[in-house]
Every structure is written in structure tokens, then in C-alpha cells.
Amino acid sequence: MTDPTVLRTRGLTRRYGRDSGLVRAVDDVDLDVPAGQTLAVMGPSGCGKSTLLHLLGGLQRPTAGEVWLAGNRIDTMSERALARLRRDSLGFVFQSFHLMDELTAVENVELAALLAGRPPRRARQRALHLLDRVGLADRATHLPSALSGGQRQRVAIARALSNEPQVVLADEPTGNLDSAATLEVLRLFEDLRAAGQTLVVVTHDARIAAVADRVVAMRDGAFADDTRLAGTVYGGRR
């Protein structure tokens, strides 16, 4: 039987500084995210959400503990292997979108597939399909500067999906958006949840909880509360 856990941590710890300046940004976290689960990690600014997400995605190395992604232990992996795994298995969504300003929407979305060696025609087809999925088929040739914040974030979400990642990690994806744009992004996450995409969203926006299967509250680097929302089958649909 295959292990349905896509993300797993054991004793995950990341400290900064030392002595009286020591910060336990992530403090001994054990986490299991089954395939298909939408997990919201909530908590006040500075509680360690971004650090946790960076550790889960192999963007940062832990001080101690283990991180497993799709059966691979990543905290001890070489940079080269980790880069390949990130490219093939993870999609990232950031608060400030991180789109390439000089590339059009469709070029931004297809870039990851081209870097992964996909044939250009296939990459373009898939990028257009993804833009359609996020409701931006008619904005494919626009530059980011010609898009609203909500549209930019939807392009970034399409990009995150381009290599069919096992996990999408999103750090405050609605943090720079007004309420109308926030709703667009929430609706999209709801679609991803329904499609069975494993998703970890870090946020201090309570509305994100409404589209999650599970909400973890973080305080001072640790999990203070872990709630599976009513009516949710573990790892499955409501």
C-alpha cells in the first residue's frame, strides 16, 4: 500500500540567533499532511508561519528534525536533488506574486514547464489551459503590469500548478489583495480543494479557514491547536 502522507515532519525545528537573542521560529513540530488535504496554518505575525513553509518546501534547512516530501527525506538532500524535487513536486504561491515583469501571463505560467524540459508546444497548451482554469484565458498575453493584484495572484497560482505538483504551498496569498480579489483567490482554492490538490496555506486571514479541511493554529513556533473541520473526512472531501 502506498503511504498517503505527502508531507511529514518530525521534531522540525528552526532557530535563529543564540543566547539571549535566540528565536525558536519553528519549535519541534510534528506534522502529517495526507494527500488531498487542504491545510490552513494560522497565527499572528512572527509566530513562524513563513519559516515553517520554507522548511516544508526545502527553501530553508532546519536546525533539527526531519522533513519528508512524497516519501523523500528532504532536509538532508543535496541542493541539486532538492532543486529538482522542488521543480517537479512543489508549487509555490507568495504574498507578492513573484511574477516576471517582462513576461506575459502565459509566458510566466509556461516557464516552469519549459525549465523542466517539456516540449514548448505542450508547455504552451498547458499554460493556456491553466489560465483558463483560473478564469484568465482572455489575459494570456497581458504583462503583469496590466493586471490587477487579484489577477496577478491567479496567474501565480496557475504557474504553481504547471508541473502538476504533489503539494502547493502558499504564504499569505491574499496578504496584498483587497477583499474582492481575496474572494477570487479563495474561490480558486476551493476549486483546488475539490480537485483533490494537496494544499498548505499559511495566513492570518480567517476567511482562508472556510476553504480548508483542517486548520492549525501556530503560536511561538509550535502548534497550539489542530482542528479538522466539522463534516470533513480525514484527507477527503466534505
Ligand X SMILES: Nc1ncnc2c1ncn2[C@@H]1O[C@H](COP(=O)(O)OP(=O)(O)O)[C@@H](O)[C@H]1O
**51 touching ligand X, by CB under 6 A:** yes
Question: What is the amino acid identity at position 104?
Answer: T
Choose from ligand X, Mg ion, none: what does 23 bind? Cβ within 5-8 Å by kind: ligand X
State how far the Cα of 149 lies from the Cα of 176, in Å rounded to an integer.
7
By CB under 6 A, is residue 119 in contact with ligand X? no
Q: Where are the alpha helices (DSSP H) in 116-178?
A: 120-133, 149-160
List the one residue from 25, 35, 99, 167 that touches ligand X (CB under 6 A).
25
* Binding partner selected for residue 16 from ligand X, Mg ion, none, CB under the kind-specific 5 to 8 Å limit: ligand X
Q: Which one of 48, 144, 173, 235 is in contact with ligand X (CB under 6 A)?
A: 48
| C-beta of 49 vs 214, nearer to Mg ion | 49
Is there binding between residue 95 and Mg ion (CB under 5 A)? Answer: no
Whether 127 and 109 have beta carbons less than 8 Å apart is answered as yes
**Cβ count within 10 A of residue 200:** 25
Q: Which of residues 157-216 bind Mg ion (CB under 5 A)?
A: none
Does 222 interact with ligand X (rule: CB under 6 A)?
A: no
Q: How far is the CB of 188 from ligand X (least distance, A)?
A: 22
Q: For residue 76, how many other CB atoms are within 10 A of its CB? A: 10
Judged by beta carbon distances under 5 to 8 A according to partner kind, the member of Mg ion, ligand X, none in contact with residue 203 is none
Pairing outcome for strands 222-228 and 198-203: unpaired
Residue 155 and residue 108 in contact, taking contact as beta carbons nearer than 8 Å: yes
Cβ 221 vs Cβ 24: under 8 Å:
yes
37, 50, 153, 203: which one binds Mg ion (CB under 5 A): 50
Size of the site for Mg ion (CB under 5 A): 2
Q: Determine the Cα–Cα distance for residues 110 and 178; give it in Å rounded to an integer.
A: 27
Return residues touching ligand X (CB under 6 A): 16-17, 23, 25, 43, 45-51
